[in-house]
Structure formats: structure tokens, C-alpha cells
Amino acid sequence: MSITPPEQKVWFNEPVEKTEVVWVLIALTWALIMFAMMPLWHLKGTQNMSNEAYRIQPDVYQARVDAFVEKYKVGEEGHAKTPVVRPPAGSDVYMLARLWEWYPVLELEKGKSYRLHLSSIDWQHGFSVQPANINLQVHPGIDEVVTITPTDSGDFGIICNEYCGIGHHTMLGKIRVVAGK
């Protein structure tokens, strides 16, 4: 029994029943299929995590975001008067996380690609675009660059889904995707 020593002193020599052999082979095959899927998706799929990231000082990142907002600001929104920024398609766009806001509001064009920069100037935050359902981790000190192409238009909420203190649940930002011309 499982609670008594095995009958054969060298348990490795025990016979193995056929059902088990079959199941081990099936399970191994399935494991290999799953093993292949991730590299395969990098080749064939269009949703992959970016490997582009740079070390950056929070104040340097802040300065870049400020310059970006200055350049492309088209209005303000929400009771915190968050600037709304409309960058040209294909450009570098910035999103900054801090206690407890996402800054600024981005206005993007459907079907166009953008190099989205993500970083935090204080703690870790979670960048969760809903209901598109994209969830990325945002770190202080790391400038993460993801090339994104919104595939549907509308207003998307950016929820912070990494706990960052008492005001965490109010940390809600916005990306507006407008239909192209």
C-alpha cells in the first residue's frame, strides 16, 4: 500500500501496467503540443508580449510624458481634468501610472499602430484595458514599449489591477479609440 514500503526493494523494477503507459504517452504528447504553442504564436499569432524595455529614471519618464502631452493635447476630461492627447498614428505614445491616476487620456485611431510606452513613477501598477481585456504589469524604473493596434472603437477603461494603496480602486484611466477617416 502507499502507506507501507513497496514490496520490491528496488521499486524502480516494478512492472508498469498498460493503462499507465498509454496515459503517460497521451499526457506527454499533450505537454509537447502545449510546449510548441507559445513559440508558434510568436511566429503566427498577432498578440505577443513586447520584449522591448529600458531602464529609466522616473523623473526622465515624467519629463517625456509632459513633453508628449504638451505637443498633442486636444482637450481635458473627467473631474481631475486629465489632458486628452491625440497623437499621430504610428508615433510613440506615453501612458504614465502614479498614485492614483493614469495620465493622460489617449485618443487613438482604430486599425492604426502605436508604440505605447508604459511606466510608473512611484509603485507598481497594473495596466488593464477593459473590455478589450489586455493586462500588463507596469514597473517604476522600466520603460516598457508595446506596439498596439486597437481593433475596435469606443471608450476603453484602464483599470489599475495591481494593488497600489488605499486609492487603488479610483485609479481609472481612459483610452478612446475613434474610427479612422
Partner 1 sequence: MVAKPVFRTCGFTGLKIHDEAEKLIKINAVTAIVVLALGGLFGLLVALTRWPTVHLLPADLFYLALTAHGIDILIVWCIFFEVALMYFASAILLQSRLATPKMGWVAYALMVLGAAITNWKVLEGNSSVMMTSYVPMQADPLFYVGLILFAVGALIACFIFLGTLVVAKAEKTYEGSIPLVTFGALTACIIAIYTISSGAIILIPTFLWSVGLISHIDPLMYKVVWWGMGHSSQQINVAAHIAVWYAIAAILFGAKPLSEKVSRCAYLTYIFFLQIASAHHLLVEPGLSSAYKIFNTSYGMYLAVLGSMIHGLTVPGCIEAAQRRRGFNNGMFEWLRKAPWGNPVFSGMFLSLILFGFLGGISGVTMGVEQINIMIHNTIYVPGHFHATVAAGTTLAFMAITYFLVPVLFGRELVMPGLAKLQPYLFGLGMGVFSLFMMGAGTLGVSRRHWDMAFSDAPHAFAHAPAAFLMMGIVGVSAVVAVVGGALFVLIIVGSVLFGKPAVPPAPAAAPSPVASYGNADHVAVPGTFALALLFLTMFVLYYFVNWKYLASTWIMS
Q: Which phi and psi angles does 28 have, rounded to 5°?
A: -65, -40
- In the set 64, 110, 139, 168, which binds Cu ion (CB under 5 A)? 168
Q: 118 — alpha (psi -120 to 50), left (phi > 0) or beta? A: beta
Residue 176 makes contact with Cu ion by CB under 5 A? no
**177 closest CA partner among 94, 88, 106:** 106
Residue 13's CB is within 10 A of a number of other CB atoms, namely 8
Stretch that binds Cu ion, among 11-19, 88-96, 146-154, 167-175 (CB under 5 A): 167-175
Question: With contact defined as beta carbons under 8 Å apart, do 73 and 84 qualify?
Answer: yes
Residue 89 makes contact with partner 1 by CB under 8 A? no
Pick between residue 42 and residue 169 the one whose CB is nearest to Cu ion. Answer: 169
For residues 49-88, which are near partner 1 according to CB under 8 A?
A: 49-51, 53, 77-80, 82
Residue 56 makes contact with Cu ion by CB under 5 A? no
For residues 123-142, which are near partner 1 according to CB under 8 A?
A: 123-124, 126, 128-142
Q: What is d(CA 36, CA 41) in angstroms, rounded to the nearest whole number?
A: 9
Tell me the number of residues near Cu ion by CB under 5 A: 4
Min separation Cβ 72 and partner 1, Å: 19
Question: With contact defined as beta carbons under 8 Å apart, do 84 and 76 qualify?
Answer: yes
Residues that bind Cu ion (CB under 5 A): 160, 164, 168, 171
